[in-house]
Amino acid sequence: MITRSILLQMAASRKMEHFSSHNRLAKGFAMRFIASEKMEDVTLPVRRLNSKGLSVSLDYLGEGVTTEEESEEVVQTYLKLFKLIKQENLDSNVSVKLTALGLELSESIAERNLRRLLDAAGPDQFVRIDMEGSALTDSTLNCFYQLWNGANAYRNVGVVIQSYLHRSADDIEKLIKVGARVRLCKGAYKEGPDVAFQHKSEVDSSFVSLMKRLLKDGNYPGIATHDMAMVNATQEFATQNSIGNDKYEFQMLYGVRRELQLELARKGYRIRIYTPFGDHWYPYTMRRLAERPANLRFALASILRG
């Protein structure tokens, strides 16, 4: 039986990524979760989502760069993406992983590159810093605070907090205090019991607690979940506390629970679809499978049926 732990180990395998990138069936399945491999092809899927009342957050896949030259390629892609969003009048902001901007080379490189993106984005474009494995949580938040609190304070940037980390309640309080925009998710990396809850009930309990704090005192939080129990808990808390639908948004993944996305939009909830693109799709796709390993059999059957 393929478990979540095995799938996450596979996600980190360079050999498996090389094999999958040259495998037609693997690529066919990945395209369920990826809008396109090329930036110039992303406009149509975004327009389709927008036409259904769904906003978007575009993410260029390419985490874990190992040279400054690679990080510069990522920066240039995002600079072109900002222009594309504006030219095509797309209802979309962007998400970025700091390891794609050189975080594993140094915090200063990632911060410098992120500053370039925020300057190019301007006040009308929002940039969300994705959260990665727990080993990078401190450095990711350090970069965010450097830009948020610096002499040239940026307000077109937000961050992600993962409910499965023990530290997240403290991080949420600090972010609420400074007025930052937070996306709350459960977390999709392999973490040990010293830093993360290991049982779904604990992760869910943490998610609900943090969701309530963000809805009550946060700044337009993004509640990122496909779990109906979490969706219902959010709706109930918002109703009980007279929190309008314009004070927060649900965020969901491209290709995951599409009918739920549309149903919530029809009911008047704000929905944003996290929409990745690029040819470095293997790690992302494996993490999606790891969130629900039971989906692997379904996915393989779908591919084989064509």
CA pair distance 218, 199, nearest whole angstrom: 27
Which tokens belong to 166?
Answer: 């023990």
Residue 53's identity, in one-letter code, is G
Query: What whole-number distance in Å separates Cα of residue 68 and Cα of residue 213?
Result: 39
Q: Are 98 and 143 in contact (CB under 8 A)?
A: yes
CB 155 within 8 A of CB 119: no
The CA R_g of the chain, rounded to the nearest whole Å, is: 18
Round to whole Å and give the CA distance between 102 and 204: 32
- Rounded to 5 degrees, what are φ and ψ at 27? -65, -40
Task: Kindly report the length of the chain.
Answer: 306
Active site residue 204: no
CB 233 within 8 A of CB 211: yes
| Catalytic entry in 115, 128, 181, 183 | 183
Catalytic residue, chosen from 59, 115, 128, 130, is: 130
Largest interatomic CA distance in the chain: 57
Beta bridge partners of 271: 250
Give backbone dihedrals phi and psi of 194, rounded to 5 degrees, phi first. -75, -25
Q: At what angle do helices 282-291 and 4-11 cross, to 10 degrees?
A: 170
Cα distance between residue 243 and residue 233, in whole Å? 13
What DSSP character marks residue 130?
E
What is the token pair recorded at 147?
């830009």
Specify whether 130 is catalytic: yes
Residues recognised as catalytic: 130, 183
